[in-house]
Chains A and B, each alone.
Chain A
Amino acid sequence: MIASILLHVLILLLMPPLLLGVINKTKAGFAGRLGAPLLQPYYDLARLMRKGSVFSRTTTWVFRAGPAVTLAATLVASLLIPLGNHPAIISFNGDMILFAYLFGLARFFTTSAALDTGSSFEGMGAAREVTFACLVEPTMFFIMVTLARMSKSLTLTQMLTYPSFDVWFVAGATMLLLVGALFIALLAENCRIPFDDPNTHLELTMIHEVMVLDHSGPAFGIILYAAALKLFVLGAIFVNLALPFKTGNPFINWAVFVADMFMLAVLIGVVESVMARLRLVRIPQLLVAATILSAFAMLLIVR
């Protein structure tokens, strides 16, 4: 029991940057390059933690609190998510609502920290972040209500461990719509292509990277880690819906989960390699389309 929880926490805390490594390796492969080592994100984090910091004169404590609150909210939210077949560390009725609102708290502080610099670029990024997030939010709740109705439960653990291949056979259309909507939400929330390009910093279509332009050193490291953790957490939800492999053995379950996450990372890498970033005006349309997909899923399960 304790060993299982320990393993759970270790995977939760240590694995997120690896996903970024896998995504980058996939993209390098598509581009015919060798690419950075798989563990490069860890090296980056370690280096950032040792670096000095530069603060802008206009900033206040909000700028400094931004990364801390963002990481704290993401960490607490990550405790509410089951990994594969393993129940979440903290689970109670209605934890999905808290989960969504914790990301709201993180967003409030990330965007406020961006506005604190007084830079027009960061204001731009912050405006985009809150606007697009506001369009993703209903999608997440349509998905949650649908899952709650299917699994007859109010906890994320039961909602997310409920899907299995039997469920896929019975309610395939619903699951397909859910997975589609969730994948779009996942890419948008984590600022991946086609919504945002994590590799560019100075283009005017940027969202996440431009918001954190002025953070440096350890604070930037915290932000990068929190972003990786968010990708991991939302990815874990996706994997539980899309690839619900179940075995009896807990250790095989862990291996399956890790393999699933790698598959998701490769999938994201493939999407990023074959697609271009959308024009900014198209993004809201795609997000609204995702909301409607998830609303259809709910209609299908309600009827």
Chain B
Amino acid sequence: MIFVWHIAVDPVANILGAILLIGLSGLPGLFIKRPGPGQKMSVVITICASILGMTGAMRILGGAPSVNYLLEWPIPFFDPCMLSADPLSALFLLPLLLSASCSSIYGLAYISASEHPGTEKQVTFFSGLLLASMASVLVARNGVLLLFAWEIMALSSWLLLMTNKKDAEVQRAGMVYLLCTHTGTMALFVLFSLLRAESGSFLFPAIHSLTTGGLTLPIILLAALIGFGAKAGIMPMHIWLPGAHANAPSHVSALMSGIMLKIGLYGIIRVVSFFVELPLWFGWLILSLGIISAVTGIVMATAQRDLKRILACSSIENIGIISIGLGIALVGMQSGNRLLVVFGLVGAFMHIINHALFKPLLFLGSGVIIHATGTRQIDRMGGLSITLPRTAPLFLVGCLAICGLPPLNGFVGELFLYFAAFSNGISAPLPVVAFIAPILALVGGLALITFVKLYGTIFLGTARDASATKGGEAPFAMLIPMILLTLACLITGVFAPLLLNLVEPVVVDYAAVPVELFERLVSIVPLQQLTMINGLLLLVILVIWVSWRFIVQRAPLATTETWGCGYLLPSRRMQYTGSSFSSLFTGLLRGSGGDGNRHPVLQGMFPASAGFASPTTERILDKIIIPILLGADWCLAWLRRTQSGHLHFYILYIFATLFVLMLWSHQ
């Protein structure tokens, strides 16, 4: 009895219970023949489990001691299975569990049982499995257990991505994703084998305990960067990301983009914490890759025309911003600069939470838009704020937040990165980190282009293609999760210190910074004043709005067509499209390799009809990776004879390999 009570109040046990419940939430539905009740049951289970898990995570962030759960499992070699949760895990668990509830409620209407009687059960089941496996990665304290969870996560997300498996684009995206994730897993095998050789156990070593030197440390770090970085979508390992996020069902895209990418970052952050000392180049490497991802990701987003591809490319940008923060912190750790450590980590962790709030919001919104228009091409949309009056303001908040504009949460996270840059600019003898500030400003400017284009083309003006106006406003099951996320963005943005309170225990614990020092360092960031300014800004907007309404009412009002500058027959097709909106900027970069458009060649006085095509290009994938793979294919064609496709042969291969390894180890 006492044991049961102990489990009931222990935060780690709460989290583990929540993971188990979420993982099994889709199971009852598989045994109920009638479509529908299973999905509803899984939503209820997921919400209850999320609340349970979030209380556990909040208590760990609040300083509750975390217990390690050690399970002896009957697998030889692999050391006992250990589960635990520290503030770092809790920080990642919070947005995960929030998204779990949001996406499961949303799925109720998005993949409704009545419209998708075939796929609803499997989507529900694999969503639960995906969420539980991601959470298991966060609580695993054993490399092999982590790899198990990692593979379940990769496969369940792949199965979800393949929901619409008859579509050729989905097939291609799925294949690229599967290849990338397994290449990454291979790097993780290297990583955990080497870690075991260093620490003597598959159990994770204690924080800052390994003093690895020589060549092993760089290999471990690079393996972690490749293995986990491929999942996080850090450039140049992002090639799977736009296709996969664009082609998955929208609430799955929300999970993949909002949460799964962060699980990759978690891996890097966790592995880095094992070592007493890291080489300085690693921090600079993460910082440089972060800059490359941020700038290139948002440049790619600016040029896209596919709604979900824009959001996916902007995820690369945001992962880049988080990596910049992480890189600043690592550079600070190695150069003994506590200020960089604290500001870099606070910025990175805040942006992790923020991105896990506004990106799911935007992806869920994209699902509503796709339902209403039947297309993902923004150039065919327009004027949706009239047909989707509730979705439009929610999506607008998401767009403002992702641009990092005050008074929303995106600004608070970026503020800390700017502070790192400016403080470095003031005090360091050679302030290299200070150059982050203009780069972040450039990224912010590009994000503004992208999201004004996105919001303006989709919601404003009039529909550019009359056929893309088939549906109406989303049902409440789809709106409620979006409202929740919008409120979270608004509250954490306006009341800026809230986020800091959430992040403080993680940074203190992770970077081993004394609480007093942490508070002294962050006290130069004026979050209280920011809250007041946010209030002032909202107040001034309100005052101007009200007085404007008052003034306008006193004079005559008229409603007419948009002024066509003297042209009397304006048509909807004359509007600026998303492509034309961004073409001015993409034109500036044209020197760096064509826009991929196929222009018609016009000849003669009366040219014949000609075609113009503007295909979606994935330049790195098409121009670099696929040629390399084709070359490898040509070199290794002889090996294909061993690939019979029969299961028993593969089992034989595994047995033979193990046998040879056994002989080798006993030699």
Residue positions of A touching B, CB distance < 8 A: 49-60, 62, 64-65, 67-69, 71-73, 75-76, 90, 92-95, 97-98, 100-102, 104-105, 107-108, 111-112, 115-124, 126-128, 130-131, 133-142, 144-145, 148-149, 152-154, 202, 213-214, 217-219, 222, 284, 291, 295, 298, 302
Binary CB contact string for chain B from 388 to 415 against chain A (1 if under 8 A, 0 otherwise): 0000100010011001111000010001
Q: Which residues of B contact A134 (CB under 8 A)?
A: 442, 445-446, 448-449, 585
Give the secondary structure class of B's interface: helix
Q: Is the CB of B552 within 8 A of A68?
A: no
Q: Is the CB of A94 within 8 A of B422?
A: yes
Give the nearest-CB partner of A60 in chain B: B385
B206 at the interface (CB under 8 A from A): no
Of the 9-residue stretches B158-166, B257-265, B432-440, B504-512, which lies at the interface with chain A? B432-440
Give the nearest-CB partner of A149 in chain B: B425
B70 at the interface (CB under 8 A from A): no
Q: Is the CB of B452 within 8 A of A98?
A: no
B526 at the interface (CB under 8 A from A): yes
Binary CB contact string for chain B from 16 to 41 against chain A (1 if under 8 A, 0 otherwise): 00000000000000000000000000
Q: How far is the CB of B490 from chain A (nearest CB, A)?
A: 14
Q: How far is the CB of A287 from chain B (nearest CB, A)?
A: 10
Q: For the complex, what is the distance from the CA of A52 to the CA of B555, rounded to whole Å?
A: 5
Total contacts A to B, CB within 8 angstroms?
Answer: 248
Q: Is the CB of A123 within 8 A of B422?
A: no
Give the nearest-CB partner of B418 in chain A: A97
Binary CB contact string for chain B from 306 to 334 against chain A (1 if under 8 A, 0 otherwise): 00000000000000000000000000000
Q: Is the CB of B437 within 8 A of A115?
A: no
Contacts A58-B383, A72-B544, A145-B422 given; does A52 touch B461 at CB 8 Å: no
Q: Is the CB of B536 within 8 A of A104?
A: no
What interface size band does chain B fall in?
Answer: 35 or more
B570 at the interface (CB under 8 A from A): yes
Q: Is the CB of A108 within 8 A of B548?
A: no
Give the nearest-CB partner of A221 in chain B: B551
Residue from the list B411, B441, B556, B562 in contact with A117, Cβ < 8 A: B562
Contacts A92-B529, A93-B524, A116-B461 given; does A128 touch B444 at CB 8 Å: no
Q: How far is the CB of B499 from chain A (nearest CB, A)?
A: 15
Q: How far is the CB of A281 from chain B (nearest CB, A)?
A: 9
Contacts A108-B405, A118-B575 given; does A213 touch B422 at CB 8 Å: no
Q: How far is the CB of A174 from chain B (nearest CB, A)?
A: 14
Q: Is the CB of B558 within 8 A of A101?
A: no
Contacts A56-B560, A135-B445 given; does A123 touch B580 at CB 8 Å: yes
Q: Is the CB of A115 within 8 A of B460?
A: yes
Most buried by B among A67, A95, A108: A108
Q: Is the CB of B576 within 8 A of A115?
A: yes
A-B contact pairs, 16 of them (CB 8 A): A54-B560, A56-B559, A56-B560, A57-B559, A60-B385, A67-B548, A93-B526, A94-B415, A105-B406, A117-B461, A118-B383, A119-B563, A123-B456, A152-B426, A222-B544, A302-B430
Q: Is the CB of B560 within 8 A of A57?
A: yes
Residue positions of B touching A, CB distance < 8 A: 382-383, 385-386, 392, 396, 399-400, 403-406, 411, 415, 418-419, 421-423, 425-426, 430-431, 434-435, 437-442, 444-446, 448-449, 451-453, 455-457, 459-462, 524-526, 529-530, 533, 536-537, 540-541, 544-545, 548, 551-552, 555-565, 570, 572, 574-576, 580-585, 588
Q: Is the CB of A112 within 8 A of B444?
A: no
Q: For the complex, what is the distance from the CA of A214 to the CA of B461, rounded to whole Å?
A: 13
Q: Is the CB of B555 within 8 A of A115?
A: no
Give the nearest-CB partner of A210 in chain B: B565
Ranked nearest first, the 9 interchain pairs of A and B with the lowest CB-CB distance are A123-B576, A134-B445, A115-B456, A118-B461, A52-B556, A138-B438, A92-B526, A52-B555, A56-B562
Q: Is the CB of B540 within 8 A of A115?
A: no
Q: Is the CB of B382 within 8 A of A118?
A: yes
Q: Is the CB of B426 within 8 A of A118?
A: no
Q: Is the CB of B526 within 8 A of A94?
A: yes
Q: Is the CB of B563 within 8 A of A214?
A: yes
Give the nearest-CB partner of A54 in chain B: B558
Contacts A54-B559, A217-B552 given; does A131 touch B584 at CB 8 Å: yes
Q: Is the CB of A101 within 8 A of B406?
A: yes
Q: For the complex, what is the distance from the CA of A111 to the CA of B24, rounded to whole Å?
A: 48
Residue from the list A67, A126, A137, A154 in contact with B456, Cβ < 8 A: A126
Q: Is the CB of B563 within 8 A of A127?
A: no
Q: Which residues of B contact A122 (CB under 8 A)?
A: 576
Give the nearest-CB partner of A69 in chain B: B541
